[in-house]
């Protein structure tokens, strides 16, 4: 595994690959405010061991990729979409299987519509055809009251320059997104600490993705997706409850939905790795 820096417009993106470049490529696209460290080494190696060339990368404002002042991202949501293409170009890959989580799955959906020639298949986890439900989307259930309260809170952020305090705050911030599966706190701490140590401006990483403009895909365009699509969704997702996954699978032609029992809105915990890896390997088979 060797990190490399890839030019994407005016930004540099840090990426890392597992496995042989002669194997089918899977590009992992992360969620908001998360560096590529959340795609755990062992998980990536497991997919690579099944004959896949697995690429993960730091989104802008995370890890070693280009950062911007907290509260003033110098890019849009549309730039995050084209960044994924830049990563593929950096590895000389014409088309790849895309596996996105949450915001990353939104990016993957957009790529499936706007750049179908670059997409061999889609795996969309913990996402929705239209974002959080509410009065304007009565067909989609809203987030949990606990999360709604969290997003409405005006509590001051921690001192992001204080390593211990920041790590504790980020770990505590994961709890409202949990499902029914107990978290591995030691594993979480290792991932969050690694992210903190690799990210130049943690305040920006925890702020800027939430205030981006542009890049949203119109719900009606999901029907244009032609790539084979696998939808993975936790049955205990508090942000985008399970009916969001069901709706997404209905609206993408031919999509297949796999329920991840007890999982919340999170990167796949170890408890579901067997299911996730088996499904992805089958879905991305040549």
Q: Within 10 Å of residue 199's Cβ, how many Cβ atoms?
A: 23
Nearest to 71 by CA among 176, 278, 210, 232: 210
Tens digit of pLDDT at every position of the chain (286 positions): 689 999 999 999 999 999 999 999 999 999 999 999 999 999 999 999 999 999 999 999 999 999 999 999 999 999 999 999 999 999 999 999 999 999 999 999 999 999 999 999 999 999 999 988 888 888 999 999 999 998 899 889 999 999 999 999 999 999 999 999 999 999 999 999 999 999 999 999 999 999 999 988 999 999 999 999 999 999 999 999 999 999 999 999 999 999 999 999 999 999 999 999 999 999 999 9
C-alpha 153/C-alpha 136 separation (Å) is 22
pLDDT at 95 (0 to 100): 98
Told to judge if 178 belongs to the known catalytic residues of this protein, a careful annotator would answer no
Task: Write down the pLDDT at residue 94.
Answer: 98
How many CB atoms lie under 10 A from the CB of residue 254?
Answer: 10
In the set 35, 102, 121, 126, the catalytic residue is 102
What CATH class does 3-283 carry?
alpha beta
126 carries an active-site annotation: no
Cα separation, 132 vs 262, in Å, equals 19
Could you give the CA distance from residue 102 to residue 264 in angstroms, rounded to a whole number?
11
Residues 6+ apart with CB under 8 A from 180: 235, 236, 262, 263, 264
Q: Is 233 a catalytic residue?
A: no
DSSP code of 224?
Answer: G
Please, are residues 96 and 17 in contact by the beta-carbon 8 Å criterion?
no
Helix or strand (DSSP H, E) at 250: helix 242-251
Q: What is the pLDDT of residue 1?
A: 67
| Token pair listed for 271 | 């408890």
Q: Which of 178, 237, 244, 283 is catalytic?
A: 237
Domain boundaries, the chain: 3-283
Q: Active site residue: 233, 244, 265, 283, which one?
A: 265
205-to-109, 161, 227 alpha-carbon distances in Å: 23, 12, 31
- Report d(CA 185, CA 269) in Å as an integer: 11
């Amino acid at each position: 595994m060797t990190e490399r820096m890839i030019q994407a417009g005016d930004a540099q993106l840090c990426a890392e690959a597992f496995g042989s470049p002669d194997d089918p490529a899977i590009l992992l696209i992360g969620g908001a405010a998360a560096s590529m460290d959340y795609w755990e080494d062992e998980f990536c190696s497991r997919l690579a061991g099944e004959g896949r060339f697995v690429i993960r990368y730091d989104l802008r404002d995370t890890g070693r990729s280009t950062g911007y002042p907290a509260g003033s991202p110098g890019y849009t949501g549309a730039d995050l979409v084209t960044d994924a293409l830049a990563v593929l170009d950096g590895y000389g890959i014409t088309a790849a299987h895309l596996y996105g989580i949450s915001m990353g799955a939104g990016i993957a959906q957009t790529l499936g519509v706007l750049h179908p020639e670059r997409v061999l298949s889609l795996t969309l986890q913990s996402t929705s055809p239209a974002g959080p439900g509410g009065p304007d989307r009565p067909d989609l259930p809203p987030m949990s009251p606990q999360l709604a309260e969290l997003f409405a809170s005006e509590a001051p952020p921690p001192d992001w320059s204080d390593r211990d305090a920041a790590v504790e705050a980020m770990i505590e911030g994961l709890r409202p997104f949990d499902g029914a599966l107990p978290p591995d706190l030691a594993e979480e701490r290792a991932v969050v600490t690694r992210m903190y140590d690799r990210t130049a401006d943690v305040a920006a990483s925890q702020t800027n993705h939430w205030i981006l403009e542009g890049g949203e895909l119109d719900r009606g365009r999901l029907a244009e997706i032609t790539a084979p699509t696998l939808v993975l969704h936790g049955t205990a997702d508090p942000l985008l409850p399970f009916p969001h996954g069901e709706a997404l699978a209905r609206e993408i032609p031919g999509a297949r939905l796999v329920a991840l029992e007890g999982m919340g809105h999170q990167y796949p915990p170890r408890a579901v790795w067997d299911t996730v890896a088996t499904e992805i390997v089958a879905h991305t088979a040549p």
